[in-house]
Chain A
Amino acid sequence: MATACTTNFSHYKDVLFLIMSNRDNKKIWLMWLGLMFIFIIYLTYTLTVSKDKSIFMPGELTSGHHQIGVACDACHGESFSDKETIQNSCIECHGDQRKKPFDSHPREKFTDPRNADRLENINAIYCVTCHVEHQPDLTDKTGLTQAKDFCVHCHQDIAKDRPSHKGLEFNSCASAGCHNYHNNRSLYTDFLVKHMNEDDILKTAVVPEKELASVLEEITSYPHERYPVIPLTLKNMDAPPKVLLKTSENIKHDWLNTSHAKVGANCSSCHITESEDDAVFEWENKPDHKSCIKCHDTEVNHFMQGKHGMRLKQGLTAMTPADSRLPMKADNEEEKIDCNSCHQAHDYDLHTASVDSCLSCHNDNHSLAYKESSHYTLWNKEQSGELEKGSGVSCATCHMPRVAVDVNDWLRRTVVQHNQNANLVPNEKMIRSTCMNCHGLGFSLDSLADESLIKNNFNGRPKLHIESIDMARKDNERHLKSINNE
C-alpha cells in the first residue's frame, strides 16, 4: 500500500512538472493565480466593505428574512460572535410582537434554575432553538424548525389536568384556534367560555377609532416645541418663497384640509431634513420615512418591523414588490416602498392607503378576490356614508388593524399597526386584533382555519369547525356541575 502511494505521489509530481514546464501551461497557471487573486480581493471586499454579503449565505433564508439576507450583520452582528448577539437581533425586531397579548413562555421563566432540566430537552432561552435560519428543508410556513409536537417536552401530562385534551396528538396543539407558543394565553379557557355563544356577526360591528391628535400632549417623543398644536392657514405656510411660487393650488388645498394643517404640521415639518450634526437644515422635495418618523414614530417603527419596511430598518435600499415572494403585479414591480407609496404626499386619503395602494401591487388570489367580498361591499357603504364610520372592511382593517399599543411606559393609544406581519402568522393572531371587532369568536376561529375561504377572501361560510370552544364548554359544564354538587 505504502509503495503504491509513493508511486502515485511521484507520478503526480511528474505530471505537475510536465504542466509547469510547458510554456502555454505556465500562462494558464499565471492566469489562474491572477484570477484567484482577484477572487480573494472580491471576497475580502464583500466581507468587509460591501453591504451585499449574500455570496456567503449557507442556505436559503425564510420568507421572513430573505429581503435582508444581503446584510448578514443584521442578525449575526459585526463579529458573528455568539448566540446572545443573534438573540438580541431577534428581539430587536420581534420583541414587541412577543409581548402582546401575553407571552406565556418568557425567557425569564426558563432561566430559573428549576427549569434547567427542561433546557436540556429544548433550550427555550434562545429563539434559534426553534427557528433555525438557512434550513429551508426543515422550516414550516410559520418559521418553525422544531418537530411539531415539541410541546410534549414540558406538557406530557396535560390530559391529566384537562380531560378535554385526552387523546389529542401533540402535533395538533398549534392547530388553528388553539395554542401558539408565544401567545398561548390569547385563547385561554375562560376567554373561550366568555365568547362561546356569540353570533357570527356582532350587533355592534365597528373597528375602534385611532388616537393621535387627542393624545398628542402625552406623547413625549412628539416635537411639541418645534411644532406646537395650533391650526394653520395658507398664510402660515413656511416653505421658502421660491418653493411656494411653484406650489400648485391643489397641493395647498390638500394640505389645508388634512389633519396636518389642523395640528400645526407645516411645510417645514416634513420637507426640512436635519443633517446629522443637527445644525444644517435642507429643503427636501420628496421627504421619506425619516421625516414621517419625527411625529409618527410608533407607526414608522412598526412599518420598519414588517416586510414593507424591514430593508429600510437595516439601512438597505427600500423594498420593491419584485423583492417579494408573493405574486405581485408586473407593472409596479420596481416601485420603491416608503410611506408615500401608500399615503399620498399632501392628500393622504385613507381609502387609497387602505385598499387601492395594496391592490396596486398584490396579485394573489386572496387580494384579487377582495372586490367580490362582502367586506368590500361594507367598505363601499362606509365610504359613501351609508354605514357608520368604522363599519367597512378594507385590506388594512385586517392586515393593518387599529390596535391598542403601549407607545411608551405611560401611554396606551389606538394606532394603526403598520407591521402587516404582526397578526399574520399564525393567523389566529388576527382573531382578537381584527375579526372579533365584528364577528363572534366561534365564527372567527372556523373562518381562519378554512384555507379555501381565505383564498376567496371570505366569500361564503366556513366549511371547517374548530373544536376549542366545544372543549371549553364541556370543561365549563363539568366545573359548574362539580360546584353545584358540593
Chain B
Amino acid sequence: MKLSSLIISMSAALSITTVSGNAYAAGDTVPVKAMADALHLVLDSDRTIYTRKIVNRLVKKEKVIKASEHFDDDKALVLPAQMFRFGSELVQKRAKKLPDVNFSYSLQSIWPINKQNAPKTKAEKDGLKFVADNKGKNFYTEETLGGQKYFTAVYADTGVAPVCISCHNKHKDTPKNDFKIGDVMGGVVIRIPIDG
C-alpha cells in the first residue's frame, strides 16, 4: 500500500497532533504532518550532531582537519549543508526501490550561496518567508508539482554556530553578509506525496 493512500484526509491529518506521551495503536496510520515533523526531527538532529561532534570538534576545537566546500580537492570534511544534501540525494535513489516509501527533502534559502537552492515553487517561497518572519513556527501547505499532489512542510534553519555565520557572510557567492547568530538563514523543505 502506498504511503499516500495510508494517509488520512488532509483536514483530518492536520487536526491530529501528537502530544508527548500519546502512543499510536497497532495498525494506526501516521498522519502526514506527524510524519513530516518526525522526518525533520531526525534530519535536524543528525545534522546537528555532525556539525557539533564532527565538524566543529575536529576543525575548531581539535584543529586537526579542515572542512571545505571542495572537500575532495582539499582532502577535507564535507560541510554540514553538503552532508545534508548528499543524504537527500541518497534518499531519492534508495526510495525508488521502496514503493511504500516516498518523500523528498531539501535545504533552501532566500539568500542561497548556490542559486539552485533558492526557493522555486510558490509553497517554497511562501514557506521560507513565513519561517524567517515567524521565528519558532513551521509552515505547512499543499501543492501540485508535475501532476502529483504533495503535502509540503517548511522548517526554519537557524544559524547556531559562529562558523555557520562567518562562512556564509564571507563566501564570495553569498547575497547576504550580515547574518548573526540565531538568525533564520534558510529552511528545510519536506514533501510527501498525497492522494487527491
Counting CB contacts under 8 A, is B157 at the interface? no
Residues of A within 8 A of B (CB): 101-102, 106-109, 111-117, 119-120, 154, 157, 161, 188-191, 475-476, 479, 483, 486
The contact sample of 14 A-B pairs, CB cut-off 8 A, is: A101-B72, A101-B73, A106-B89, A107-B93, A111-B96, A112-B104, A113-B193, A114-B120, A116-B145, A116-B147, A117-B120, A120-B146, A190-B70, A476-B172
Whether B148 and A113, one on each chain, are in contact in the complex, defined by CB atoms closer than 8 angstroms, is: yes
CA distance A190 to B69 in the complex (A): 10
Cβ of B107 to closest chain A Cβ, rounded Å: 12
Please tell me which one of the listed residues A114, A475, A479 contacts residue B189 in the complex, with CB atoms under 8 A apart: A114
Top 3 nearest A-B pairs by Cβ distance? A116-B146, A108-B92, A108-B89
Distance, CA A479 to CA B193, complexed state (A)? 42
| In contact, B70 and A113 (Cβ under 8 angstroms) | no
A117 lies within 8 A of B145 (CB): yes
Assembled-state Cα–Cα distance A483/B121 (Å): 33
A479-B172 contact given A113-B146, A114-B124, A117-B146, CB 8 Å threshold:
yes
Residue from A107, A108, A114, A154 in contact with B145 in the complex, judged by beta carbons closer than 8 Å: A114
Instruction: Assess A475 versus B172: contact at CB under 8 Å? Given A112-B106, A114-B189.
Output: yes
Cα–Cα, bound, A393→B146 (Å): 52
Q: Contacts of B120 on A, CB cut-off 8 Å?
A: 114-115, 117
**Is B170's beta carbon under 8 Å from chain A?**
yes
- In the complex the two chains form, what is the Cα distance from A324 to B106 in whole Å? 46
Q: Given the complex, which residues of B lie within 8 Å of A108, measured CB to CB?
A: 88-90, 92-93
B191 in contact (CB, < 8 A): yes
The chain B residues found within 8 Å of chain A, CB to CB, are: 69-70, 72-73, 88-90, 92-93, 96, 104, 106, 115-116, 120-121, 124, 145-148, 150, 170, 172-173, 177, 189, 191, 193
Complex-state Cα separation, A107 to B96, whole angstroms? 12
In the assembly, what is the distance between CA of A108 and CA of B88, in Å? 8
> Provided the pairs A114-B120, A119-B146, A161-B115 are in contact, do residues A191 and B70 lie with their beta carbons within 8 angstroms?
yes
State A122–B158 Cα separation when bound (angstroms).
Answer: 34
Chain B residues with CB under 8 Å of A479's CB are 172
Q: Are B92's CB and A111's CB within 8 A?
A: yes
- Minimum Cβ distance to chain A for residue B88 (Å): 8
Chain A residue at smallest Cβ distance from B170: A483
B131 → chain A, closest Cβ, in Å? 17
CB of A391, distance to nearest CB on chain B (Å): 24
A107 CA / B150 CA spacing, docked (Å): 21
Q: Out of B90, B93, B104, B172, name the residue touching A113 (CB < 8 Å).
A: B104
* B69 CB contacts on chain A under 8 angstroms: 190
Residue of B nearest to A106 (CB): B89
Query: When chains A and B are docked, how far (Å) is the Cα of A262 from the Cα of B73?
Result: 35
B189 touches A102 (CB 8 A): no
Known: A191-B73, A475-B172. A114 touches B121 (CB 8 A): yes
B172 close to A114 (CB less than 8 A): no
> Which residues of A have CB within 8 Å of B88?
108, 112
User: Do residues B106 and A114 form an inter-chain contact, with CB atoms below 8 A?
Assistant: yes
Q: How far is the CB of A403 from chain B (nearest CB, A)?
A: 13
A157 to B117, alpha carbons, bound, how many Å?
14
Q: Is the CB of B72 within 8 A of A102?
A: yes
* Interchain CA distance A4-B177 in the complex, whole Å: 84
B145 contacts across to A, CB distance below 8 A: 113-114, 116-117
- Minimum CB distance partner of B105 in chain A: A112
In whole angstroms, how far apart are the Cα atoms of A286 and B148 in the complex? 59
Residues of chain B within 8 A of A116, CB atoms compared: 145-148
In the complex, the chain A residue whose C-beta lies closest to that of B92 is: A108
A186 nearest CB neighbor, chain B only: B73
Nearest residue in B to A475 (C-beta to C-beta)? B172
B92 pairs with A157, CB closer than 8 A: no
Contacting pair A188 B70 (CB below 8 A): yes
Q: Which residue of B lies closest to A118 (CB)?
A: B120
B150–A113 CB distance below 8 A: yes
Taking the closest CB of chain B, its distance from the CB of A9, in whole angstroms, is 49
- B41 to chain A minimum Cβ distance, whole angstroms, is 21
User: Chain B residues near A115 (CB, 8 Å)?
Assistant: 120
In the complex, what residues of B have CB within 8 A of residue A119's CB? 146
User: How far apart are the CA atoms of A304 and B25 in the complex, in Å?
Assistant: 56
Chain A residues with CB below 8 A from B191, complex form = 113-114
| Residue of A whose beta carbon sits closest to that of B175 | A161
User: With the chains together, A486 CA to B147 CA distance in Å?
Assistant: 48
Q: Which B residues are CB-close (under 8 A) to A117?
A: 120, 145-146
Name the residue on A nearest B95 (C-beta).
Answer: A111
- How far, in Å, is A412 (CB) from chain B's closest CB? 11
Distance to closest chain B CB from A43 (angstroms): 38
How far is B73's CA from A97's CA once the two chains are assembled, in angstroms? 17
A157-B115 contact given A112-B104, A113-B150, A476-B172, CB 8 Å threshold? yes
Give complex CA distance A119, B148 in Å. 14
Q: Which of chain B's residues have a CB closer than 8 A to the CB of A101? A: 72-73
- On chain A, the residues within 8 Å of B146 by CB distance are 113, 116-117, 119-120
